[in-house]
Structure 1
Amino acid sequence: MADIQERDFFDTSDDAENEEDLQAFDASILSSTVVSDTDWTTETILSQLKKKNILLDPAFQRRDAWTDERKSRFIESLFLGLPIPQLVFAENKNSRGKYIVIDGKQRLLSLVRFALDEDKPLRLKGLELRNDLNGKTLADLRNQGEYLDDLAAFENQSIRTTIVRNWEREEVLYFIFHRLNSGSVPLSPQELRHALHPGPFIDFAFAFSEASTGLVRLLGRDGKPDFRMRDVEIFIRYVGLMLYVNDYSGDLKRFLDLTTLRLNDSWGEKKQKVEKAAVALDKAIDTTFEVFGEGAFRKWTGSGYERRFNRAVFDIMTFTLSRTTLRREALSRPTVVVDTFKELCDDNEDFRRALETTTKSTSATFGRLRVWSQSLIAALGLSGQTYPWLENL
């Protein structure tokens, strides 16, 4: 198999969740929302974290994006009294005084690691302005008398904190989330979904995406899962298309939310089916790599494969190659599969457009799934069989 070039997930097709998914957003629902700014001290924030009033799911800590050097520089900024970006919380509708993190997860994780992690505390490193702190933990500083003034400055440092209260609908939080991240690297709102809809299915989706060799190979870095949980997002999207494709209305955010809610509520009944689909997903990803090599999950342009990971291509490959018969036949005749995909990209304008633009629309979503499924089945000589899942398209 050809060597796989590293994929840059920050340079992907535009089929991710974004503010456009809130096209029906009614600004009037913001009228009752109360947004207030306050200055909490580092000590106050640590106290809230310790009391678990800030809902920082322990699983999030496994998706830690910052290096120890970057965490150390953030902590150094607090010692130096430098301004840092604001934290943004939403008060939990079901539990007053508890807060969902909207923005600032990495800063909070840095504080947790430095001040609250007893097992593996952050040992400061890479500091230049306060190089005397290098190699020290918070416990070290507390045990050394010469740092009493530094500790007081650290604990009393003000951190601007914005709190969103009295929000009526989740769309308000998604709207704020996207606005906070506009103009920067687009982030996945899956972190917010995880906080808003806890339950057994989303816990499974999180754990599976961490353990999945396929998803880590596809979207991870250095053998670690994606820190923004976009692997969890596309897993939920895959499961939704496998189980509830007829319910997709073109509203991607709502589809992912409803899939999460339905499976959280019916986990006892759907658990085995989801687990089976998860195993099939890993096989489908492996098969796609085996068949396409470095072109896996990329659009064919006529002269080569795009560099970008394409979610629409991911949809069609995993939707079909998660089926045992199609997967087996594809592995036995990989050239046929590749040629069929290239021909569709070259000659079928509707199919090509469904991989490029308006990929969230129902016509594009159903169209690309139907055309690819039918073309692959015909190319592999399997047209004589019955495929109930294809009838749903």
Structure 2
Amino acid sequence: MSTLKLFEKEEEELKFFEENEDSDNSSNNSLELLEEIAEILVTGTDWTTATLLDQLVRENIQLNPRFQRRDAWNIVRKSRFIESIILGFPIPHIVLASNQKERGKFVVLDGKQRLLTILQFYGRSETKNNNFSLRGLEFRQDLNGLSYKDLENNSDYASIIAPLDNQTIRTTLIRNWHTESFLYKIFLRLNVESTPLSPQELRQALHPGDFVNFLDDQSVNSQSLRRIFKSKEPDFRMRDNELLMRYMGFHYFLPEYRGTLKAFLDMTCKRLNKEWENKADDIREAANQFECAVESTIDIFGEKNFSRMWLSNSRTYRSQFNRAILDTMVFYFSDPIIRKGAITKKKAIDNAFKEICSSTSNGFRESVEGNTKNIGETYTRLSVWGKALREVLGIDFNVPELLENRIFFNGLH
């Protein structure tokens, strides 16, 4: 593979069974959003590279330091972006939304990698790519191997520094928005034709707090998540963070789930941020149990097959990773008693899972491959797998119950 390719990947990217967070698509919700659209203020400004850098350094444009560890672009792509600025090529615009909680500050809806690249090239980011040297340039090959400091400290490159600092980059500012649902819609529209990003990125920007910070640190350092993604680096789409967030939500608030995953995860963020001081130790322990649960799931099913659907017609596991199946596995295997019993009966557990996947009457397959976020499907997969585990292990523990389209659950023991 050529070193000049924009994306250099050492390993094949993990394929997810497609499942997007849902929002309320009712006509009433659409009318409310239309009313909000009529009130928002959208303005365009031609900020220069130097102005954007200043706004980033002063943290008026909020590029969370934790996000900066999730670097999606390699050095060649970063270098060619800087080259485009120097040459005056058209640059995709940046989209910012005002932070309703802090006047004069903005949340980034589109353009994070471009902003991070500027911050790194100017040597103002505390990341491994900070102060990187240009590489793989197509038009200004004479600049290959040079960093911003090299350019700045050599008078021969004065003609480079001025256009770089003063190049205008179109920036769109969205003000006077009222609901997160509106920003979420804009976020999805902006990313529909680009590399899809996890809504977790927007969620963390809108709901900062101690729990959110812990979750991101934990997902970065999690060895089990690194095994899932087969990567030594954090996932730049924050899908690793999202998997841990889903576990926390169902672990603490399953009875409060109402079938809308986005709202449920938003609520989880807000509640655990607020309760962090009193629940920090318990949340840390829950995260430790998540690690053990993932490791046990891998041990039982194998690294290639865990959290994938069993296809009885071909007697193989589906290649795509399934979030809903992982949710179901870690929900039970996060319990030490269940986990210990399952490890001693790995073959029987594997067979039990194949059996519920193959059944045409229990609804399990539909609950992990259809509209997986409905209350009925969420209950079905947790209930069917929980009852299968109880039968195989011979251990008495609680399984969620469904009454009037609400899930009731008071803990496993």
TM-score with structure 1 setting the length: 0.93
| 2:398 corresponding residue in structure 1 | 387
Q: State the Cα RMSD in Å.
A: 1.7
- 2:350 is equivalent to residue 338 of structure 1: yes
The residue identity in structure 2 corresponding to 1:112 is L
| 2:120 corresponding residue in structure 1 | 113
| 1:3 corresponding residue in structure 2 | none
SS of alignment partner, residue 311 of structure 2:
coil
Give the distance between the partners of 2:360 and 2:349, measured in 1 at CA.
16
The 3 A distance-change label for structure 1 pair 167 and 63 is same
1:135 to 124, 127, 145: 145
Greater Cα shift, 125-134 or 355-364: 125-134
| 1:23 corresponding residue in structure 2 | 25
- 2:62 is equivalent to residue 55 of structure 1: yes
| 2:301 corresponding residue in structure 1 | 292
4+ long deviations beyond 4 Å: 388-391
Following superposition, the deviation at residue 169 of structure 1 comes to 1.0
1:360 to 373, 398, 401: 373
**Number of residue pairs matched?**
382
SS of alignment partner, residue 317 of structure 2:
coil
Greater Cα shift, 91-100 or 201-210: 91-100
- Once the two structures are superposed, the pairs formed by residues 195-344 of structure 1 within 5 Å of their partners are 195-219=205-229, 221=231, 223-293=232-302, 294-302=304-312, 303=314, 304-344=316-356
SS of alignment partner, residue 195 of structure 1:
helix
The 3 A distance-change label for structure 1 pair 389 and 267 is farther
SS of alignment partner, residue 116 of structure 1:
coil
SS of alignment partner, residue 122 of structure 1:
coil
1:71-130 Cα distance to aligned partner (Å, 9 max, x none): 111101101111121110001112222111111110011000011337741111111311
2:77 to 70, 76, 81: 70
CA contact (8 A) 2:290 2:330 kept: yes
CA contact (8 A) 2:109 2:187 kept: yes
| 2:4 corresponding residue in structure 1 | none
Give the distance between the partners of 2:169 and 2:91, measured in 1 at CA.
7
1:290-325 Cα distance to aligned partner (Å, 9 max, x none): 111121011111121111110111011111111111
| 2:198 corresponding residue in structure 1 | 188
| 1:79 corresponding residue in structure 2 | 86
| 2:104 corresponding residue in structure 1 | 97
1:28-67 Cα distance to aligned partner (Å, 9 max, x none): 2222111112211111111111221111111111111111
SS of alignment partner, residue 327 of structure 1:
helix
CA contact (8 A) 1:7 1:309 kept: no
Larger % of helix: which? Answer: 1
The residue identity in structure 2 corresponding to 1:13 is F
Give the distance between the partners of 2:157 and 2:388, measured in 1 at CA.
70
**What residue ranges of structure 1 are gaps of 5+ in the alignment?**
1-5
1:160-209 Cα distance to aligned partner (Å, 9 max, x none): 11111000111111110001111344210111111111111001100110
